[in-house]
């Protein structure tokens, strides 16, 4: 089980300069923070420094509610940093969006029920009633918002209100077969994770397994990514593939794909929960 | 070492009907052929039967030069078959086309020199002189045909004459950075194997590693396929991928890609030499 | 959903001879059975013929309850065949054995609940009460049999009685942390599927992730296999691996391993349910 | 092509303490070294800090021949470091040992000839004359030392003398089918790279493909590792696997294995040349 620890995570990116790493680690060390993980990466082509550091707060001398202010003042401004501070006592709150297929939903809920993740799942949203029985099995409220062209913006407004009410910090589209509007997406920038059932950018759009079969590819894949207003083109978090042969029908591709989809989606969700993803210029830095 | 055996291979496809498999195996059995491998596959959606059968000729009672005639008369016509008969005493003859990169070329030539394949490589063709030293190491004639817009059809005509002269039965583009004309391709239908340095259909065209890096994918791949007049869209033979991360620069993608490219190309060449590939409607059936 | 079809599957192995394939397909064809899948394989080294054929029974002229008798009389005896006939109207009945971990259990039950498999799961057996809540979520009876050295044979006798009572045809050990006795295993020869959390034969026995970490391997794996009286040495059905690095602690290996375990186990269960596995001499033939 | 740069690489491990990273990066930064890559990893269980840092020397103010002394005095002693400094103007010198198989040898030489690696290969040593023609193709001296029980220590002494004469810094066993003596190995601690044709620790020893076929595994693999006096048990550098099926004969396993072996060996050699491997307690830290 994650999250019983009392820790902080900093995700940082800024123009690369000598000494950044030293300054950040000294900031933590000199105030008696015990660094648990530190990972850094410099994109030399663009001259950008990325860093993730996690440290224990029990002995840290800066009060928890002052860390951000001190870091801002002492370091972030000086190095022109974009950063986020996450404290382990603030649990992320995740909403699942689903349509009619259960495989990704079960995989998420099974991990949640097994307490694998430091997360709360206060609700599930769907455009169909089909998955309500699954939600009930796990005692999670299930809300149905049927979507038509006419009612879409109205329904999304209701969804957003519901998310706000439940304090949702990020959304997971577990094979949710509805395109979200730009307005909706802008409420959760790089905080909506989708699973696409192809190795993007191949076969973007609908019916990728049919397209893959038609093209006669020898591998199929799945892609988890943050949703942006550009359909199926947001920053990729994780991808995996499996080999197929001429013997595989479309139905068999769909079946094999399900196993990819659920694992690739859950891996992305886990990385997000653990604050290991930094989105930058439509790409992701995913720390290990 | 392959090919010292005295065998025949039949590749067949035809409309599916009951009894085809039985009729073909009986044809071989009753004339005392010993079946070594048999693989069949029925595409139920399209109702097409595919088959590969390999048998020993030493005890086979139909004279080698009569097999095709007998099979045609007794079976193929009746079942409306498209088929090809390959005899092990006819070695395939392969021309390699290359530009400036050596990794695929070395991989092909190393296997050839180690006698892994039942094939002859009578010549290497290039649009640049760079790889001549490699060809010399393996004592294979190397012909340079610099290509410009103006001289392309003329140079291709010379290449075709040279291929004919050397009795070439199929061509392998080992990172040959020139698009072949439709005219050239039509001389070798489903007998020109190319390696494309992406998991097609993603990143078709030039500079796929740059495109992959720009898109921020987490897997890169390579695709071997038969060349058709539709660029990068011919029947796919083999694909493989490797995982990458945000740390990989374009240069590192290119380096990692080389290992994929050479293995994926050589696998396709091997399958072709072993008569295990059936191209059908822009897809391939690849028997194991 | 599988199994609404009215079909038969034959799994056969016998000494290889010319004409077996023809005879079996003719048996089906001449009695108006429509072959849906046929896969055959000849082990040339040992001279053994293996075959799986599935056909539609709706138009088949031999009454369902006579197929086995006719096949036995007309073909099986003649060719010295070992065979099994499976009819789609007889649903396999599967018992799950589990201890304290939920990931494999959830994966099996999610597929079952989604009606992916043509199977019944009448009960779950455990040596611990921990997973009862999961069983309840899916409304499946859960029986606890705490095992000690002293009570083992007695408890196993009760388990066997319960399996018999529920008409169980095969068992799945979903991370069941108890070694079954030879007596128990002999009641279900090649019908108990286990998941071992290593790429066997490496790290057989307990604590494979600790052993893998200690040895410093760069891949970890999982193995599904039929249970035999020789611990961790039964016929392997499926294996998969994932790459790891020096950064992975034992805990991270365990976490990464869970995803391998559940997929590799479910694949084996699916193959078993679809009658695609033939065990022969401590190895398996797994048809696609 | 690697190595035209003027750079230094430091590989360090020591007991973990706050501030090590800061002190090392400051040492480089304050003397005007430009850090190109930095990777660090802390083994929290054992409390050990590992680091690799590469920086440009052109502007570095400490004279190249004084870096080691200064680093030792100012930092290494203080933190109880085990470290190695590598300068790009000292090219590693690699000896290849080979027996009768060419696939790994060709893969190494093709990369060498294409100038992919910052390395010199002054000689090839064998216990058989078979590969001399390959060596000749690449104009590399080839020495044959037939080995018998009786002459082994004598022949190894000659080999060691030859390696010394050629200034060899590390050895690569490219399917060299002779066990090296402890005496030989101790001359090149963690500087002899071997390729074993199995996913160790499975199938250690001779004939692993036969053993894998006998056991009926569904994956085969290859392992590159440093040679220690404990046979097939040295620190693992890289491993990879491929899926196989019941259809694969031992010969096909051997063929499929060749592609794994050559790639897994070459990757290990590349990592070694690039100073990215730190061996520690029979395991390796392999920086990316």
Residues of B in contact with A285 (CB under 8 A): 246
Query: Would you state the structure tokens that stand for residue A109, as one six-digit string?
Result: 């809920």
CA-nearest residue of chain C to B242? C243
| Contact between A239 and B216 using a beta-carbon 8 Å cutoff | no
What is the overall mean pLDDT for chain B? 95
Give A122-142 pLDDT, tens digit per residue. Answer: 999 999 999 999 999 999 999
Count Cβ–Cβ pairs < 8 Å, chain A vs chain C: 40
- DSSP SS3 for A276: coil
pLDDT for res B4: 59
How far is residue D85's CA from residue D35's CA, in Å, rounded to a whole number? 15
Which helix (H) or strand (E) segment holds residue A95: the answer is strand A93-98
pLDDT band (50, 70, 90) for residue D1:
very low
Distance from CA of D155 to the nearest CA of C (A): 32
Task: Summarize the confidence of residues A200-219 as an average pLDDT.
Answer: 94
Q: Strand B170-173 and strand B192-196: pairing?
A: parallel
**Residues of C recognised as catalytic:** 232
User: Which chains have at least 3 CB atom pairs separated by less than 8 Å from chain C?
Assistant: A, B, D
CA A6 to chain centre: 22
Alpha carbon distance A109, C248 (integer Å): 25
Q: Does the pLDDT value for residue C3 go beyond 80? A: no
| Residue C219 to residue D221, Cβ atoms within 8 A | yes
Quick one: closest CA in C to A136, which residue? C137
Element (H, E) at D133: helix D132-137
What is the nearest CA distance from C112 to chain B, expressed in angstroms? 27
D105 vs D96: CA distance, rounded Å: 8
* DSSP calls for D13-55: EEE--TTHHHHHHHHHHHTT-EEEEEEEEEETTTTEEEEEEEE
Residues contacting D135, CB < 8 A, separation 6+: D124, D141, D142
* Catalytic-labelled residue, pool A16, A230, A232, A248: A232
Please check whether residue C80 is in contact with residue C14, taking contact to mean a CB–CB distance below 8 angstroms.
yes
Which pair of tokens denotes residue C157? Answer: 């006798």
Given this model, what pLDDT does residue A1 score?
41
What whole-number distance in Å separates Cα of residue B287 and Cα of residue B280? 13
Rounded to an integer, what distance in angstroms lies between the CA atom of residue C288 and that of residue C37?
10
Q: Flag if A236 and B218 touch (Cβ within 8 Å).
A: yes
User: Is B160's pLDDT higher than 80?
Assistant: yes
Map residue C287 onto helix, strand or coil.
Answer: coil
Structure-token pair, residue A279: 């989105």
> How far away is chain D from the Cα of B109, in angstroms, using its nearest Cα?
9
Contact between C86 and C113 under an 8 Å Cβ cutoff? The reply is no
B201 contacts in A (CB within 8 Å)? 202-203, 215, 217
Q: For residue A208, give both structure tokens.
A: 């990728």
List residues of chain A with CB under 8 Å from any CB of chain B. 41, 43-45, 199-203, 215-219, 221, 235-241, 243, 245-247, 249, 282-286
Contact across the interface for D237 and C218, Cβ inside 8 Å: yes
More confidently predicted of A22 and C221:
C221
* pLDDT tens, position by position, A45-63: 899 999 999 999 999 999 9
**Whether the predicted pLDDT of A34 surpasses 90:** no
* Cis peptide bond upstream of D201, omega within 30: yes
CA-nearest residue to C33 within chain B is B18
Which residues of A have a CB under 8 Å from any CB of C? 102-103, 106-107, 110-111, 113-114, 116, 134, 137-138, 245, 247, 255, 259, 263, 266, 288
Instruction: Say if residue D4's pLDDT is above 80.
Output: no
Give me the phi and psi of C148, to 5 degrees please.
-125, 165
Q: Note the pLDDT of residue B11.
A: 98
Please give the full DSSP string across C246-285, using - where no structure is assigned.
TT--HHHHHHHHHHHHHHHHHHHHHHHHTT-EEEETTEEE
Quick count: other Cβ atoms within 10 Å of Cβ C35?
A: 18
* DSSP per-residue letters across C34-58: EEEEEEEEEETTTTEEEEEEEEE-T
**Residue of C247, C255, C263 with shortest CB distance to A288:** C247
Say whether pLDDT at A196 is over 60.
yes
Pairwise CA distance, residues D131 & D100, whole Å: 6
Average pLDDT over residues D243-269: 97
Kindly state the average pLDDT of the residues C105-130. 98
Chain D residues with beta carbon closer than 8 angstroms to that of A36: 44
CA distance A137 to chain C (A): 5
How close is the nearest chain B Cα to the Cα of D221, in Å?
Answer: 16
> Looking at residue A241, what DSSP letter applies?
E
The tally of CA atoms less than 13 A away on the side-chain side of residue D256 is 22
Q: How far is B234 from C4, CA to CA, in rounded Å?
A: 38
From A189's Cα to the closest Cα of chain B, the distance in A is 18
pLDDT band at A288 (very low <50, low <70, confident <90, very high): confident
Identify the contact set of chain B against chain C, taking CB-CB distances under 8 A.
18-19, 21-22, 25-26, 29, 35-38, 40, 42, 44, 243
Query: Residue C117: which of C263, C267, C288, C2 has the closest Cα?
Result: C2
CA distance B111 to B117: 7
**Chain B residues with at least one Cβ partner in D under 8 Å:** 102-103, 106-107, 110-111, 113-114, 116, 134, 137-138, 245, 247, 255, 259, 263, 266, 288
Contact yes or no for A219 and B237 at CB 8 A:
no
Give me the mean pLDDT over the B251-263 stretch. 97
Give the rounded distance of the alpha carbon of B20 from its chain centre.
27
Q: What are the chain C neighbours of D236 within 8 Å (beta carbons)?
A: 215-218
- DSSP-assigned letters across all residues of B112-150: HHTT-SS-EEEEEEESSSTTHHHHHHTT--EEE----TT
Integer Cα distance of C53 and C12 in angstroms: 9
Tokens of A240: 């995996």
C139 CB neighbour count, 10 Å cutoff: 8
Q: Is the peptide bond before D142 cis (omega within 30 degrees of 0)?
A: no
Q: Mind listing the pLDDT tens digit for each residue in C6-64?
A: 999 999 999 998 778 889 988 998 999 988 888 989 998 899 999 999 999 999 999 99
Q: Determine which of C25, C51, C247, C286 to mutate to test the interface with B (most B C-beta atoms within 10 Å).
A: C25
pLDDT of D77 reads 97
What's the pLDDT at C19?
79
- Tens of pLDDT, residue by residue over C256-286, are 999 999 999 999 999 999 999 999 999 999 9
Q: Which domains does chain C have, with CATH numbers?
A: 7-87 (3.30.70.260), 93-286 (3.40.50.170)
pLDDT at C95 over 80: yes
Per-residue pLDDT, B1: 41
Residues on chain C touching A253 (C-beta within 8 angstroms): none
Whether the per-residue pLDDT at B3 is higher than 80: the answer is: no
**Beta strands across the sheet bearing D82-87:** D34-43, D48-56, D7-15, D82-87
- Residue C238 CA to residue A167 CA, distance in Å, equals 43
Question: Residue C80: which pLDDT band, with cuts at 50, 70 and 90?
Answer: very high
Calculate how close chain D gets to A234, using CA atoms only, in Å.
26
**Which residues of B are known catalytic residues?**
232
Centre a 10 Å sphere on the Cβ of residue D220 and count the other Cβ atoms it contains: 25
Res B288: pLDDT: 87
List CB contacts (< 8 A) between D114 and chain B: 102-103, 106
Q: Are A146 and A133 in contact (CB under 8 A)?
A: no
Enter the ipTM: 0.95
Beta-strand (E) ranges in chain D? 7-15, 34-43, 48-56, 82-87, 93-98, 120-126, 142-144, 170-173, 192-196, 219-226, 236-243, 277-280, 283-286
Q: What is the pTM of this model?
A: 0.96
User: Are the beta carbons of D35 and A18 separated by less than 8 Å?
Assistant: yes
Whether the per-residue pLDDT at D115 is higher than 50: the answer is yes
Evaluate the CA torsion angle B231, B232, B236, B238 in order and state its sign: positive
Q: Among A4, A46, A55, which residue's Cα sits nearest to residue A28?
A: A55
Distance CA B41, CA D273 (A): 48
Distance from C-alpha of B193 to C-alpha of B185, rounded to nearest angstrom: 11
**pLDDT band, residue D5 (cuts 50/70/90):** confident
Q: What residue of B is the nearest CA neighbor of C47?
A: B36
Q: Whole-number mean pLDDT of chain A? A: 95
Quote the pLDDT of residue C4. 59
The count of CB pairs under 8 A between chains B and D is 41
Q: Quickly tell me which residue has 């193995």 as its tokens.
A: C223
Distance CA C102, CA A113 (A): 9
**If we measure between CA atoms, which residue out of B72, B74, B32, B71 comes closest to residue B55?**
B32
pLDDT digits (tens, 9 = 90+) for B166-198: 999 999 999 999 999 999 999 999 999 999 999
Give residue D34's pLDDT: 87
Query: Of C241, C245, C284, which is closest to D219 when you measure between CB atoms?
Result: C241
Q: Is the dihedral of CA D248, D252, D257, D263 positive or negative?
A: negative
Mean pLDDT of D49-53: 95
From the DSSP assignment, how many helices (H) and strands (E) are in chain C? Answer: 9, 13
Evaluate whether D109 touches D121 at the Cβ level (below 8 Å): yes
All residues of chain D having their beta carbon less than 8 Å from the beta carbon of residue A49 are none
DSSP string, B144-203: E----TTTHHHHHHHHHHHHHHTT--EEEESS--SPPPHHHHHHSTT-EEEEESSSTTTT
Q: Catalogue the E-assigned strands of D67-196.
A: 82-87, 93-98, 120-126, 142-144, 170-173, 192-196
Whether the ω angle into residue A34 lies within 30 degrees of 0, i.e. cis, is: no
Instruction: Tokens for D181, please give them.
Output: 């003596």
Instruction: Sort out which chain A residues have CB atoms less than 8 A from D19's CB and list them.
Output: 25-26, 29
| Structure tokens given for A151 | 């009612």
């Amino acid at each position: 089980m994650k999250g019983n620890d009392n820790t902080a995570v900093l995700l940082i990116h800024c123009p690369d300069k000598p000494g950044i790493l030293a300054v950040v680690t000294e900031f933590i060390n000199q105030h008696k923070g015990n660094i648990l993980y530190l990972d850094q990466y410099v994109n030399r082509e663009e001259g950008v420094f990325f860093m993730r550091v996690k440290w224990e707060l029990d002995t840290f001398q800066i009060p928890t509610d002052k860390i951000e202010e001190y870091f801002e003042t002492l370091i972030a401004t000086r190095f022109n940093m974009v950063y986020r501070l996450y404290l382990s006592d603030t649990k992320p709150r995740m909403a699942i969006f689903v349509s009619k297929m259960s495989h990704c939903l079960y995989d998420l809920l099974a991990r949640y029920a097994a307490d694998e993740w430091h997360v709360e799942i206060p609700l599930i949203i769907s455009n169909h009633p089909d998955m309500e029985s699954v939600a009930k099995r796990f005692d999670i409220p299930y809300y149905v918002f049927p979507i038509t062209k006419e009612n879409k913006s109205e329904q999304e407004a209701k969804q957003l209100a519901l998310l706000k009410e439940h304090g949702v910090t990020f959304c997971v589209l577990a094979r949710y077969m509805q395109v979200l509007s730009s307005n909706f997406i802008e409420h959760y920038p790089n905080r909506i994770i989708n699973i696409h059932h192809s190795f993007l950018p191949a076969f973007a759009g609908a019916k990728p397994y049919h397209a893959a079969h038609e093209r006669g590819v020898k591998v199929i894949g799945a892609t988890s990514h943050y949703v942006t207003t550009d359909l199926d083109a947001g920053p990729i978090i994780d991808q995996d593939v499996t080999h197929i042969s001429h013997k595989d029908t479309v139905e068999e591709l769909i079946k094999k794909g399900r196993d990819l989809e659920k694992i690739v989606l859950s891996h992305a969700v886990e990385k997000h929960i653990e604050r290991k993803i930094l989105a930058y210029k439509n790409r992701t830095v995913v720390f290990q």
